[in-house]
Structures are given as C-alpha cells and as structure tokens.
Chains A and B, each alone.
Chain A
Amino acid sequence: MKLTTTLMATSALIASSLAAGAEDMTLVSWGGAYQASQQKAYAEPYMAMHPDVNIIWDESSAEAVAKLRAMAEAGNTTWDVVDVVAADALRLCDEGLAMPIDPDTQLAPAPDGTPASEDFGDLLVSECFIPQIVYSTTFGYRTDMVGDKAPESVCAIFDTETWPGKRSLEKRPIGNMEWALICDGVADEDVYDVLATEEGQARAFAKLDTIKDNVIWWTAGADTPQLLADGEVVMGSTYNGRLFKLIVEDKQPVAMLWDAQMFDLDGWIIPANLSDERKARALDFVYFATDTQRLADQAKYISYGPARKSSAPLVGKHAELGIDMAPHMPTDPANAKHTFLFNYDFWADYRDDLDAKFQAWVSK
C-alpha cells in the first residue's frame, strides 16, 4: 500500500516534471475569484485536451503594463498570455508591447458561423485586445443604513442630506469625473465633450467638492466590499463581481445600485516578440479560451458578462450556488437601463492631465 502510493507519487512527479519540461505556458491574471473562474472555465479543459501543455499562473495583472515593459527592455519576456483591462491593452499596443490580432483569422467564429469580429463587435477596442468579459464599476449600498428610502439614482452619492454617512470612491479621476458631471446635469452623451474643457473639469471637481469630506478613497477592489461589510460606508463603488460575492455568497445586508454603471472590458493580450513556437501555443490557447462556449462557461463562476453576443443565451446557473446568473450580469436588461460606456480614446489622451489635477485636488 505504502509502496504503491510512493510509486504513484514518484511517477506523478516525474510525469509532471516531464510535462513542465515539455511545454510551459505562463498565464497572467488578477488572482482571487476571477482567476479561479478562468482556471475552471478555460485552463482545466484546455489542459485536459492538451496534456503536453503545463499552464502556470502569475497573479500580476495589476502591474502587467510596467512589468511587460521591463521584460521587453531586458529582452526576456516570460509571459505567454496576459489578462488586462482594455485601457491597459490600448497602452500596451501603443507601446508596441502587445501583438496585433486579426479576429477573423485568429479567433474562433460563433457556432452559427458569424465571424469573430462581428461577434465581439464594438468591444474590439484595440487591435491587440481580445475581449473576454464585460464588467462594470457600480455602486452597492447598505440596506440597513439607508432608512426607508433606497437610493435609485447614482446621484445618491452626492446627496448627503438624504443619505448621511461616508461613501467610498476609487482614488482616480476615471469614473468619478463622469458621475459628477452626470449628477451636475450634463447629458450622458455630452459628458466627454464637457470633460475635455477646462470649465467642464472645474465643474466636475466643484461637484466632487460637495462630498469631499464624506469620501473614503479606495485603491484596491476589495476595499469597498470590506468597508460596506464593516458599516464604515453607507455606499461605495467597486467592480460588480465583488458586490455579487458580498451580497450572494457572504449574504451581507447590501444591495446593488446599477444606475449609471460604468461598463469596462477585460481580456487577453499576447506579448509582442514571442518566439514562433510560443506565439503559436498562445494563439491556440486564446482561440480555445475565447470561443462562444468557453466565455459562457466562465459566467458559471463569476458575475461578469461574456464579451461575445453569441455567448449570452448560453449563460446558465452558478456552478456551486445553483442560482440563475443572468439577473446578476451587468448586461442584463433590468440592470442595464442606464449604463455608461467608458471612453478609451478620451482617457488615453486626458489621463495624465486629469490625473495630475485629480491628485492635486484630492491631496488638498
């Protein structure tokens, strides 16, 4: 008995080290529940199909842009496929650090034959970006701290009279500036035009000034869920998947405020200048991992919407909790009555400028 286990362990060790020696592929992601959903939906089935490929995970997506640049300068890129938000993909593409992709030849078509470029549609925001999920930055509020008036509009964050208490907002201009303008009476479609002017920026800061002393500024996605759970804030912004976990899995007295949720994208990029062999392997993985079924599968584990139109009808129930996932998706019609589309080109241009202004404003 003991001998057999030892033998089995040894052979498993040898097998795995052989596999590791054969073909390692490093995937970079965000860690936590999100990476776990990718592991289950993409990596495990892929490894089952390709026993010769050994997938290694690296939880470095938050610093992916800086690290990829450093790797490229050192001439030794060790990553094969990297999960980044769309804005980072845009920058990596601009810097020549990510490989351009032709969706129609390098990505899977939908089951009915629709080419990938149509299936992804507008979500192909950069030629290097392979969209994976749609997520949103949106608000959650403590149901036991808002009295009998549940907030229905995003402008509740600026209404400290009706809903006193602290709010948590992300410590960066993106998102906050848009919400400030919307609540100052700017129409959604004019927000970026207004924000491009000095007066518009001053207007957004003036609106944010009204709640400056009532805000706890967060930097990590886990901050707001924790602050809500502790009752430190009455409402706060974070990624919708984090709030899903807080509400559905942790059963905290928190509810979603979907109004004016800020849609954003997350997806894969393949670093530039990989060897042909590694590039082929990375492309093969991405082809598999972003096909219609795989994207729909990921939604079983986390409440982020699949980036393909053809995946939407396939979204089913949560793998462990058995609840219907569709009503928790940011793209569900009931949640998406009033949404806001993140403007990548605007932020690529104004990010440095507005960030300097925002930091100066927030520090004073």
Chain B
Amino acid sequence: MSDETNSGPVLTADGRSLKKSLQRALRREKLRALMLIAPLLLFVLVTFIAPIGDMLFRSVENRIVSETLPRTVIALQDWEYESGEAPGEAVFAALAEDLREAVKAKTHTRLGTRLNYELSGMSSLFRQVGRKLRRMDPDKPWREQFLKVNKKWGDPEVWGVIQTYSSPLTAGYFLNAVDLRLTPRGVEQRPENERVYIMLFKRTILLSGLITFMTFLLGYPIAYLLSNLRMKTANILMILVLLPFWTSLLVRTSAWKVLLQQQGVINDVLVWLGLIADDQRLELINNATGTVIAMTHILLPFMILPLYSVMKTIPPSYVRAAKSLGARPFTAFRRVYFPQSIPGIGAGAILVFILAIGYYITPALVGGRSGTFISNRIAYHISVSLNWGLGAALGALLLVLVLALYALYDKIVGIDNVKLG
C-alpha cells in the first residue's frame, strides 16, 4: 500500500470516485423500484386521478357562454344591470351575429340549457329565437325583432344572467350546492322553498354516523365471539358473516322490502302476536328507518372484519392476568380488553362511515322521503338533469367533507391507532 500516497478521493476499481459510483447504484435502485410500481401508478393516474380531476374542474368551468356568444359578452360590458332596462341595439346586433353562428353549429340550444339552470325559461327562449333567426331581416333593428319573437328579451333579468355567467370560471355551481345563488345583484340565499342541499348534507352525515354506531353495536360482540372460538367453529361462523357479502346488493335490499313493508313479514308477525293492531302497522321502510336498517346490514361485514383481525391479536392471557389480579369480568374487559380493540373500532368506523356517506342505491330504494342521501342528488344531476357542473360541485364538497372528517378523526383518535389486522 505504499503507492497510496496521494490524498485524492477514494476510487473504485474502474477509476471512478466511490461516492459517485454509490450514488449511481442508488439511483438505479430507485429507478428500478419506480419501474416496478409504474404500471400501478400509471393505472391509478389514468383511471382514477385524471377523471376525478376532470370532474372536479367541471364544478367551476363555464366557458360555454363566452365561447357561444363572444361578441355579445364584449358588447354587454358597457351595460349595467342596475339600469333596469334591456341593453341597446348594439348588443342585440352582436347577439344576432353570435346566434347565427351558434345556430349553424347547433350550440345555441346547449347554451339555453346551461342558462336555464340559473333562470327558468332560458331554454325555450334560445330554442325559439334559433328557429326564427333565419326569417329575421338584417336591415331592420334587431332589438325590435327579438322582442317580437319573445318579449322576455326586453327583461333585464335575462341579460343580467348572461352577463353574470359570462366569465370562463364560475363559483355558481358551488354556491348552488350550498343553497346560495349568484345573481346579477350578487350572492344571495335561495328562496326558502328551494333549499335542499345543506339539509341533505346534514342528514347524510347524521344517518351515516348512526349507521356506523349500529354496525359497531352489532358487530363488536360477533367479532369478539369469532376471535375467541376454536378455529374450526370460527371459520364456519365467518362464512355466515361473509355470505351476505357475496349476495347482490339489489337482492339484499329487495329482501328488506319484503320484510319491512307494512304488509310485510315483520309487521304480519307483530300483528299475529297481537303486539300491534292491524290498522297501526309500523312504517319501517320508505323512510330513514328503512335506510338505517338496510344499510347497517349491508355494511356490517366492514365493521366485523377489521374488529376480528385486531381482536385475534389480543392475547387472552392479559384478561386472565387482570382477573387474577382481582378485577371483575366487566372491569377486566373495560380496562384491559376494550382499549386494545380500539384500533379495530377505528378502522371499522372509518370504513363504514366513508362507505355510508357515498351510498346511493340502498337509500334510493328504501329511503322514501326522509332517508335519501346527498349522493342520490349527485346521481340525479349526473344521469337525469345533466347538470354535471352542480353534480361535480356537490361531489367535491362531499370529498372535502370526508377529508375534513378524516383529519378530525386523526386529531382525536390518531390515524396510527387504526389497524386492519
């Protein structure tokens, strides 16, 4: 080792610096790890994150007005809603020009549908003028001709809505989702008889909480039993827990209809036993009660399974030790066993609550008036009313709500205290 006299960096056999070589090896390692998860990452990105991002963007996107009526939007900048009068000839001329192009591209009706969300009657206003536009005379004043087609074109409300919603991004959908609305006069509360979403959000959280609590009440003893039986018996019972899990959701929900309706099995038995009179049959379905019963049943396995896997790991010797030290059975359970099962309760509660909050098939089938959730409204706006912007805003709020509750939960229980097994 006599030639190791110069104090330069340590070199590897091929003459590179050891530090660099190490870095390279590590980078290669990291790259390989990334390559391994790349398929899943890409899959999640393409099928999950991108569509959700796209859907969330719809809740503020509003280019349709400025793209369909570019000239009108500019001409309207000089008009003020407070003037209480419809704008002048210049705006009408711009509108006629815009509409001529829109009718050719058949986009005027789509704009009508969009603006109809904000003001009833816009839909037919645009459809009607689209039909009549060809027969209008470009040499005569436009304003008069539009007013002849429908006198609503002279209503400042109509122009106010176009002006208010002319920006490419809008908070209108989010305001709608919390029972407010964006009008030419500013943000105001919706009329009393149209407020529905706040109430539905509250109801969804309240009923989901109740369902979570019910699954805990019913699931805890079962999980306890399962984890303390001999393996063979426990496995058979486990199949009973999982069996409904493998049955179609619709079948299970329909079965509840047969059981719970007023002429159903449960009411029939109660009448037969003489517990209730024939004309006093209980209303167990088509209301909140029905939703809670059916959903507790459907979500029960999601509470039992995490509880069971946690309870399996609690050594029975701890409870025995507590008892031998003089604790009564209840005290031993309360102070020794129960605290150790809390991570399972946490995991089960989070699972059930988050699943419940987004459920919509069961509430739609058995919820009636008082047992439907916010997700039923989201489904309605996505598939029936086609107001995707409002659906997206409601969905975004629901997502924020879940995340907020999750954060709150983390603060109180601590997410490290959650165990799935």
Contact = CB atoms under 8 A, between A and B. Distances in A.
Interface of A: 63, 65-66, 69, 91, 93-96, 166, 202, 205, 216-217, 219, 230-232, 345, 348-353, 355-357, 359-364
A154 B266 CA distance: 33
Contacts of B286: 216-217
B120 A216 contact: no
B110 A363 contact: no
Interface in B382-408: 382-387
B123 interface: yes
A349 B276 CA distance: 48
B116 interface: yes
Contact of A349 (B116, B193, B384): B116
A57 B4 CA distance: 83
Contacts of B252: none
B215 interface: no
Contacts of B110: 94-96
Given A91-B113, A360-B193, A355 B121 contact: no
B151 to A, nearest CB: 14
A349 B127 CA distance: 11
B386 A91 contact: yes
Contacts of A205: 193
A361 B368 contact: no
B161 to A, nearest CB: 13
Interface of B: 105-107, 109-110, 112-113, 116-117, 120-124, 127, 190, 193-196, 199-200, 203, 261-264, 286, 364, 368-370, 372, 377, 382-387
A166 B262 CA distance: 10
A231 B263 contact: yes
A217 B263 contact: no
B116 A230 contact: no
B101 to A, nearest CB: 14
Nearest to A205: B193
A230 B386 contact: no
Q: Which 4 A-B pairs have the closest CB atoms?
A: A94-B109, A360-B196, A353-B120, A66-B383
A217 B368 contact: yes
Contacts of A355: 385
Contact of A94 (B112, B193, B200, B368): B112
Contact of A232 (B193, B261, B370, B383): B261
6 contacts: A66-B384, A96-B110, A202-B193, A352-B117, A359-B377, A361-B193
A60 to B, nearest CB: 10
A216 B257 CA distance: 13
